[in-house]
């Protein structure tokens, strides 16, 4: 696929960028392809029109006096830059992003002494506004900080790679279905984690669930979990149920049953052994709890799902 070369007018720094940026990648979908996307139910609700990466983009400057027809997400990996939009100056630093709404006058530029490296994507469609509102619900006056995740960078690179391979139906469908995952990784960033990281630093409910998983072999009580995190029983109970919809003990027992299902499917452990391994000293109680949760007795579950 042809690589586009940037042709900028003299920018606010008085310097004209003729040859783009070393290592840049940029895809602008042809209007014919965009028209075909609009006719496909699978991808017409949310789709990309432009996507790219500008590394160390010194003197990068863009001005749109009539705004853009699409939403524009700009994600800064390193360096610094400025977005001027809606009479507000937004500063982008490493691991921050911002979404510019359509039809709004704006300009943006890299700082000359520390130019940004940015991934960016233009997106639109009937569902684009709903996704944007998730971003805008708190404030539009500052960039959003986001923890660095290799998976997010991989998604950007993957979409660019696929589009560079051509505009086949399969490529276009794959890219725009994957676009949901990319945008969700920003708007719902607290759910995107690397292996071994806590989902949300300082989130007592997330940390307590992690603690439960590490102590499935123990008969924990609410008091012990709350005490571990220096919370009162009542406060911890309220926080946990508000976020999960379950009481802590109900949730803890559910985690035990999930582990029991694994033992029943992948090991030859007896029901009694599984019960003891999960901190439940009464196998009959364990069997009743299992059947109540799974609608099958442990032995019937093993007979049906043994691998």
88, 89, 290 from 106: Cα distances, Å: 10, 10, 58
* Mean pLDDT of the 83-110 span: 94
- Name all domains of the chain by residue range, CATH numbers in brackets: 25-191 (2.60.120.280), 204-305 (1.10.10.60)
Spacing of C-alpha 88 from chain mean position: 26
* Mean pLDDT of the 84-93 span: 93
Spacing of C-alpha 169 from chain mean position: 26
pTM passes above 0.95: no
* Residue 271 confidence (pLDDT): 94
**Nearest by Cα to 163 from 266, 251, 53:** 53
24, 31, 91, 101, 218 from 38: Cα distances, Å: 28, 11, 34, 20, 55
Q: What is the pLDDT of residues 220-236, one digit of tens each?
A: 888 999 888 888 889 89
Q: Select the more confidently predicted residue: 153 or 192.
A: 153
* Residue 148 confidence (pLDDT): 80
As a whole number of angstroms, the distance between CA 80 and CA 93 comes to: 5
Lowest average pLDDT, out of 27-31, 66-70, 120-124, 134-138, goes to 134-138
Going by DSSP bridges, is the β-strand pair 96-100/71-78 parallel, antiparallel, or unpaired? antiparallel
pLDDT band at 284 (very low <50, low <70, confident <90, very high): very high
The answer to whether 217 and 256 are in contact (CB under 8 A) is no
**Nearest by Cα to 40 from 130, 171, 142:** 171
**What are φ and ψ of residue 111, in 5° steps?**
-75, 130
Lowest average pLDDT, out of 66-75, 95-104, 106-115, 138-147, goes to 138-147
**Nearest by Cα to 40 from 133, 137, 146, 176:** 176
In this structure, the number of other CB atoms found within 10 A of the CB of residue 159 comes to: 23
Q: What is the mean pLDDT of the chain?
A: 86
Q: Is the pLDDT of residue 114 over 60?
A: yes
pLDDT band at 86 (very low <50, low <70, confident <90, very high): confident
The answer to whether 250 and 239 are in contact (CB under 8 A) is no
């Amino acid at each position: 696929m042809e690589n586009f070369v940037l042709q900028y007018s003299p920018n606010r720094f008085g310097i004209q960028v003729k040859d783009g940026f070393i290592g840049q990648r940029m895809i602008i979908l042809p209007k014919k392809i965009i028209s075909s996307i609009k006719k496909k139910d699978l991808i017409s609700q949310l789709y990309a029109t432009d996507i790219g990466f500008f590394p160390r983009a010194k003197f990068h400057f863009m001005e749109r006096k009539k705004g853009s027809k699409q939403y524009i997400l700009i994600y800064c990996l390193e360096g610094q830059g400025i977005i001027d939009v809606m009479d507000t100056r937004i500063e982008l630093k490493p691991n921050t992003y911002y979404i510019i709404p359509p039809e709004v006058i704006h300009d943006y530029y890299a700082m000359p002494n520390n130019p940004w490296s940015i991934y960016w994507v233009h997106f639109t469609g009937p569902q684009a506004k709903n996704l944007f509102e998730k971003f805008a619900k708190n404030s539009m006056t500052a960039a959003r900080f986001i923890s660095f995740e290799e998976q997010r960078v991989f998604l950007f690179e993957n979409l660019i790679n696929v589009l560079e391979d051509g505009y086949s139906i399969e490529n276009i469908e794959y890219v725009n279905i994957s676009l949901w995952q990319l945008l969700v990784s920003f708007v719902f960033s607290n759910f995107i984690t690397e292996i071994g990281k806590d989902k949300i630093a300082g989130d007592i409910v997330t940390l307590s669930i992690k603690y439960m998983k590490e102590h499935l072999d123990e008969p924990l009580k609410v008091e012990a979990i709350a005490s571990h995190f220096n919370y009162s029983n009542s406060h911890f109970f309220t926080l946990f149920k508000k976020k999960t919809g379950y009481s802590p003990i109900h949730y803890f027992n559910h985690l035990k049953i999930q582990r029991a299902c694994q033992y029943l499917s992948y090991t030859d452990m007896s029901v009694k052994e599984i019960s003891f391994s999960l901190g439940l000293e009464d196998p009959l109680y364990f069997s009743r709890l299992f059947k109540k949760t799974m609608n099958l007795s442990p032995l019937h579950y093993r007979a049906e799902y043994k691998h």
